[in-house]
């Protein structure tokens, strides 16, 4: 029994150490309030602790820059978290603003904040802002979210912050009515009629040229007698294709026209090749 209790105690101790080693935290944290013209390294400095916030609020005037440098750690070694923020919270309204820390692979991180970076609501807060550091990443390591200090924003009395205009606020906007472009329209009837008559006028010319060049209509009976299916389907597919074009002009859209045109075109290709084969056989036999 004592051995079992000892093993359990050792296991609990190891579990506690493992959990502590897999938590995000920070070290070597320094807060600097650098005034305008004080140069690099100047200004009031405070050491930040991951376990307790500063006892007194830090004051940020209109010309100051708040600088924070620290080392983010996962357990005991420096590491780069997926998320690293300095969050300022107004305790009265609950409004927050977060600033991303610039973090290197070894965990060295920094962030700079001035009054120009703060929204109007935080600039005019009547109580000190609660400044928290948030560290988190993928995996099983416990995130870090603790208040590090309080920030008292001291604005310039001669140039107080101005409230944003209503256009910059999140408010409801007028309803948007989308106006889509009208669909394609058919040309005027007079234009369609002129081109239709022009096409019809070419038919007598085409028929006369065919007769002048020696067209032989007597072979039509032989052609349909030798292969009526091929010649009939080929002639019918030509007429059907003209009907498809007419329906497209009259009322069909492109999605209705394309499937029917593909079907009629396939019939015309297959039957036309068979009909031309039959015509070639008669021409090779000396018939024209």
Domain assignment present for residue 112? The answer is: yes
Domain assignment present for residue 249? The answer is: yes
Domain assignment present for residue 4? The answer is: no
Pair (86, 202) in one structural domain: no
Supply the range of the domain harboring residue 214: 189-284
Pair (134, 195) in one structural domain: no
Over residues 139-149, the pLDDT tens digits come to 889 999 999 99
Segment 170-198 mean pLDDT: 83
Give the residue with greater pLDDT, 250 vs 166.
Answer: 250
Q: What percent of the chain has pLDDT over 90?
A: 52
Segment 119-141 mean pLDDT: 92
Residue 125 has pLDDT above 70, yes or no: yes
Alpha helix (H) ranges present in 227-286?
228-250, 254-284
> Which of 109, 136, 155 marks a domain boundary?
155
Residue 110 has pLDDT above 70, yes or no: yes
Domain assignment present for residue 279? The answer is: yes
Give the residue with greater pLDDT, 116 vs 185.
Answer: 116
Domain assignment present for residue 257? The answer is: yes
Give the residue with greater pLDDT, 71 vs 227.
Answer: 71
Average pLDDT along the chain: 85
Domain assignment present for residue 276? The answer is: yes
Over residues 266-276, the pLDDT tens digits come to 999 999 999 88
Residue 192 has pLDDT above 90, yes or no: no
Which residues make Cβ contacts (< 8 Å) with residue 247, sequence separation at least 6?
A: 256, 257
Identify the pLDDT of residue 96: 93
CATH number, position 78: 2.60.40.1930
Domain assignment present for residue 93? The answer is: yes
Distant-in-sequence contacts of 269-277, Cβ < 8 A, 24+ apart: 270/233, 271/229, 271/230, 271/231, 271/232, 271/233, 271/234, 271/237, 272/230, 272/234, 272/237, 274/227, 274/229, 274/230, 274/234, 275/223, 275/227, 275/230, 275/231, 275/234
Pair (107, 208) in one structural domain: no
Beta partners for residue 110, in sequence order: 69, 102
Pair (138, 222) in one structural domain: no
Nearest to 71 by CA among 26, 104, 30, 101: 26
Nearest to 131 by CA among 99, 160, 83, 178: 99
Pair (197, 143) in one structural domain: no
Cα-only R_g, the chain: 43
Over residues 247-286, the pLDDT tens digits come to 998 889 999 999 999 999 999 999 999 988 888 888 887 7
Pair (137, 202) in one structural domain: no
Q: How many domains would you assign to the chain?
A: 2
Pair (201, 126) in one structural domain: no
Weakest-pLDDT range from 23-27, 118-122, 198-202, 226-230: 226-230
Pair (56, 148) in one structural domain: yes
> Which of 132, 155, 178 marks a domain boundary?
155
Pair (143, 213) in one structural domain: no
Pair (226, 133) in one structural domain: no
Helix axes 254-284, 219-226, angle to 10 degrees: 110
What does the alpha-carbon distance between residue 68 and residue 63 come to, in Å, rounded to a whole number?
17
Domain assignment present for residue 234? The answer is: yes
3-state secondary structure of 194: helix
Identify the pLDDT of residue 65: 93
Over residues 173-185, the pLDDT tens digits come to 788 888 887 776 7
Segment 134-141 mean pLDDT: 92
């Amino acid at each position: 029994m004592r051995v079992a209790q000892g093993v359990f105690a050792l296991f609990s101790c190891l579990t506690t150490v493992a959990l502590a080693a897999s938590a995000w935290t920070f070290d070597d944290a320094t807060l600097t309030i650098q005034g305008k013209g004080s140069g690099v390294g100047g200004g009031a400095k405070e050491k930040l602790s991951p376990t307790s916030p500063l006892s007194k609020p830090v004051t940020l005037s209109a010309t100051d820059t708040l600088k924070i440098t620290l080392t983010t750690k996962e357990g005991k070694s420096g590491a780069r978290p997926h998320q690293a923020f300095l969050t300022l919270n107004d305790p009265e309204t609950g409004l927050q603003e977060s600033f991303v820390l610039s973090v290197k692979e070894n965990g060295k991180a920094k962030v700079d904040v001035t009054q120009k970076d703060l929204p109007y609501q935080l600039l005019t807060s009547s109580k000190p802002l609660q400044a928290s550091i948030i560290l988190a990443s993928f995996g099983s390591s416990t995130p870090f979210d603790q208040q590090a200090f309080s920030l008292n924003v001291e604005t310039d009395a001669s140039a107080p912050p101005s409230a944003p205009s209503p256009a910059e606020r999140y408010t409801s906007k007028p309803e948007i009515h989308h106006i889509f472009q009208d669909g394609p329209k058919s040309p005027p009837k007079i234009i369609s009629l002129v081109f239709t008559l022009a096409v019809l006028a070419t038919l007598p010319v085409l028929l006369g040229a065919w007769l002048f060049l020696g067209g032989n209509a007597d072979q039509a009976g032989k052609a349909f007698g030798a292969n009526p299916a091929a010649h009939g389907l080929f002639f019918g597919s030509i007429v059907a294709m003209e009907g498809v074009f007419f329906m497209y002009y009259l009322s069909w859209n492109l999605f209705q026209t394309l499937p029917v045109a593909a079907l009629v075109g396939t019939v015309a290709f297959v039957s036309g090749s068979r009909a031309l084969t039959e015509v070639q056989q008669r021409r090779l036999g000396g018939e024209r």
